[in-house]
């Protein structure tokens, strides 16, 4: 058996070395490569000097397989349904002329099989394998699709491939798009090609910008986390000939930076990174505020500008890469604008401090925020993201009506999350995202939940990837998803129960909405009694309504504006009619009570009741309101 890439094994990527080892052990002659299959691979990770140009060291996956991993093979054949068969090494043998004329899998695969069993040292690389053997129910597949599946299945068990020292590679981006019979075949080895890790990105950055200092290299390595090599190259690699657009953009950036020689030099560095950005976005990111920086500040400012621009491009690229399945959040507020909830803020502040100080073993794997709607779960989650310093992303609706698409969407998202690291994943309405969507979904819900469970249980993610799930119906979420080791901490949220609890929320809402008031805290007596029991969202609505009443009063007095008075606030509280289903709200509160990790987080009216009384009340409310949404 010919060893794969014997002369270059010391510099193979981890995934390629895994292929080599599994092949040498005789485990398989057929490999499914999935994941980051459309990226560029650096064939010089150790900075070795050779005669190739820098661009020749960045190879596509088929090129890497051909030139590096399969360099000892006498014949390498590439096939996809668009371009047909190409012999990238070796010549078309006599008797196989039809291979050069056919493109359809039903005609090409039998010819490739004959090539594999009659020739020695052949490697067949099937690009876009999902188009040759797509996933789907066998009963709904065409006879051609069924034939392709059977043919590829037989290849994995052909003794002739072992005897002839031949190999087959199937390339697919999403494993869920390939027929499951191939994926589940024990003779077919599946190997994931990951998004570049820190070492790979560092090697690429050193390759692109050899003059980069060590500190800048480390910062760039960190800020490009989650990007593919081809994307990093597109952002940072300079073009030899600038276009007219590049020249105009350079001039525009130099003007934004205040002009002068230092600004021109910085503008030339920034022009490539901002390629494709509208001028309004460039101005938002670069327009200086205050005096023009001095020459001594130019180098430091240029580095910060580059990092800021790369971060912006990274978000844009990743959101596009995930087909807008995720959204990056940029929280503007921390806990300073969160009123009340002292126990909640105390717990979350401790977790945030452990994250910032790198004490990963003390960080929970995930958090579950539970409580009725309008209690501030999303608002607190965003404040927690800012306090912790983690990159915050939010899952959008990744479910699809197409077979396999939901699983593929989820896998794409998780791959990006894993690559970014130091990320907080915020999932609102988790009961809808991960709950059972009905018995007619073909098992999609169970597969999605199983994959989420697997990812959330990976202890290597502790302190790197923190899931924050929010719901007002935790009873709709799979119970195994909520166990310790996945969602370690359950934090309940309740409406303000006393005037003392209302006051900090009221002050926070006045501060958040920049509403001036003449209220003097603490407010004596029962002045805030009409607001007690309202949700945080309802209190915000009352504050805004009171601001309108104050404006009307100012107009009647011929004044430009006047601060909100206690009378304005009470009038707004009496006029405001919050949407209420009291049985449903109490049911949601009791669900939060039973999910809470700590009794000290419960309001007195629940903390002091015996558990039997709470369970009886919950059971009765479940019969009345449990079926509602």
What does pLDDT average to in each consecutive run of 10 residues of the chain (629 residues)?
A: 55 90 91 94 69 75 94 94 93 87 92 93 95 84 89 92 93 90 91 91 88 84 87 73 62 70 67 66 58 46 63 76 78 83 90 90 93 88 90 78 72 84 88 64 74 89 91 88 89 85 85 86 78 84 91 86 88 84 84 87 82 85 76
Q: What is the DSSP string of 140-196?
A: GS-HHHHHHHHHHHHHTT-HHHHHHT-EEEEEES-GGGB-HHHHT-TTEEEEEEPPP
The confidence score (pLDDT) of residue 298 equals 45
The confidence score (pLDDT) of residue 484 equals 86
Chain center to CA of 426: 10
* Number of other residues whose CB lies within 10 A of the CB of residue 222: 14
* Residue 23 near residue 16 (C-beta atoms within 8 A): no
Please list the residues that pair with 188 across neighbouring strands: 30
DSSP letter at 129 equals G
pTM reported for the whole predicted model: 0.69
* Residue 35 near residue 174 (C-beta atoms within 8 A): no
Calpha distance 261→197 (Å, rounded): 37
Q: At 265, phi and psi to the nearest 5?
A: -65, -45
Q: Could you give the dihedral angle defined by the CA atoms of residues 550, 552, 553 and 558, in that order, rounded to the nearest 10 degrees?
A: 120
The confidence score (pLDDT) of residue 288 equals 47
The confidence score (pLDDT) of residue 261 equals 65
Distance in Å from the first CA to the final CA of the chain: 62
Side-chain half-sphere of 569: how many Cα atoms within 13 Å? Answer: 26
Q: At 27, phi and psi to the nearest 5?
A: -70, -35
The confidence score (pLDDT) of residue 192 equals 93
Using a pLDDT cut of 90, give the percent of the chain over it. 29
Q: At 88, phi and psi to the nearest 5?
A: -90, -15
Calpha distance 106→452 (Å, rounded): 37
Q: At 57, phi and psi to the nearest 5?
A: -85, -10
Calpha distance 33→181 (Å, rounded): 15
Write b or e for each residue in 241-250: b if 16 or more Cβ atoms lie within 10 A of its Cβ, otherwise e. eeeeebeebb
The confidence score (pLDDT) of residue 34 equals 94
């Amino acid at each position: 058996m010919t060893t794969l890439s014997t002369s270059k094994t010391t510099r193979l990527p981890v995934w390629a070395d895994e292929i080599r080892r599994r092949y040498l052990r005789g485990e398989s002659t057929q490999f499914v490569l999935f994941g980051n299959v459309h990226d560029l691979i650096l064939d010089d990770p150790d900075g070795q000097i050779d005669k190739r140009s820098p661009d020749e060291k960045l190879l596509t996956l088929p090129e890497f397989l051909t030139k590096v991993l399969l360099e000892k093979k006498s014949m390498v054949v590439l096939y996809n349904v668009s371009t047909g068969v190409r012999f990238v090494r070796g010549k078309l043998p006599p008797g196989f002329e039809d291979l050069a004329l056919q493109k359809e899998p039903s005609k090409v695969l039998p010819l490739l099989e004959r090539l594999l069993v009659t020739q020695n040292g052949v490697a067949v690389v099937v690009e876009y394998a999902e188009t040759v053997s797509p996933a789907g129910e066998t009963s709904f597949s065409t006879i051609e699709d069924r034939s392709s599946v059977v043919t590829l299945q037989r290849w994995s068990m052909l003794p002739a491939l072992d005897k002839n020292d031949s190999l087959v590679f199937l390339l697919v981006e999403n494993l869920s798009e390939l027929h499951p019979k191939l994926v589940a075949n024990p003779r077919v080895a599946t190997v994931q090609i990951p998004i570049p890790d820190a070492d790979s990105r560092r090697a690429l950055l050193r390759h692109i910008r050899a003059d980069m200092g060590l500190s800048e290299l480390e910062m760039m390595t960190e800020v490009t986390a989650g990007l593919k090599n081809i994307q990093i190259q597109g952002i940072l690699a300079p073009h030899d000939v600038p276009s007219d657009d590049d020249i105009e953009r350079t001039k525009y950036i130099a003007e934004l930076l205040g002009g002068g020689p230092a600004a021109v030099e910085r503008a030339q560095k920034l022009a490539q990174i901002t390629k494709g950005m509208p001028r309004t976005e460039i101005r938002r990111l670069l327009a200086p505020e205050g005096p023009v920086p001095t020459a001594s500040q130019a180098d430091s400012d240029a580095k910060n500008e580059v990092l800021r621009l790369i971060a912006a491009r990274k978000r844009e690229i990743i959101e596009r890469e995930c087909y807008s399945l995720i959204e990056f959040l940029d929280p503007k507020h921390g806990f300073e604008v969160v009123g009340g909830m002292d126990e909640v803020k105390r717990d979350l502040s401790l977790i945030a401090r452990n994250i910032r100080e790198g004490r990963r073993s003390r960080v929970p794997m995930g958090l579950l925020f539970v409580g009725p709607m309008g209690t501030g779960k999303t608002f607190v989650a965003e404040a927690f993201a800012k306090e912790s310093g983690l990159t915050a992303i939010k899952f959008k609706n990744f479910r699809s009506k197409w077979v396999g698409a939901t699983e593929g969407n989820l896998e794409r998202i998780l791959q990006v999350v894993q690559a970014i690291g130091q990320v907080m994943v915020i999932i609102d309405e988790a009961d809808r995202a991960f709950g059972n969507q009905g018995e007619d979904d073909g098992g999609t819900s169970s597969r999605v939940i199983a994959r989420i469970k697997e990812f959330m249980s990976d202890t290597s993610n502790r302190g790197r990837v923190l899931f924050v799930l929010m719901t007002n119906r935790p009873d709709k979420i799979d119970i195994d998803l909520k166990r310790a080791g996945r969602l370690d901490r359950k934090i309940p949220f309740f409406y303000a129960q006393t005037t003392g609890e209302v006051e900090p929320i009221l002050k926070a809402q006045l501060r958040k909405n920049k509403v001036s008031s003449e209220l003097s805290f603490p407010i004596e007596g029962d002045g805030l009694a009409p607001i007690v029991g309202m949700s945080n969202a309802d209190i915000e609505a009352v504050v805004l309504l009171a601001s309108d009443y104050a404006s009307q009063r100012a107009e009647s007095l011929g004044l430009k504006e006047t601060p909100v008075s206690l009378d304005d606030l009470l009038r707004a509280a009496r006029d405001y009619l919050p949407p209420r289903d009291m049985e449903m709200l109490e049911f949601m509160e009791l669900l939060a009570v039973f999910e809470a990790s700590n009794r000290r987080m419960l309001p007195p009216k629940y903390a002091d009741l015996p558990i039997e009384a709470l369970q009886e009340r919950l059971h009765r409310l479940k019969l009345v309101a449990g079926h509602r949404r």
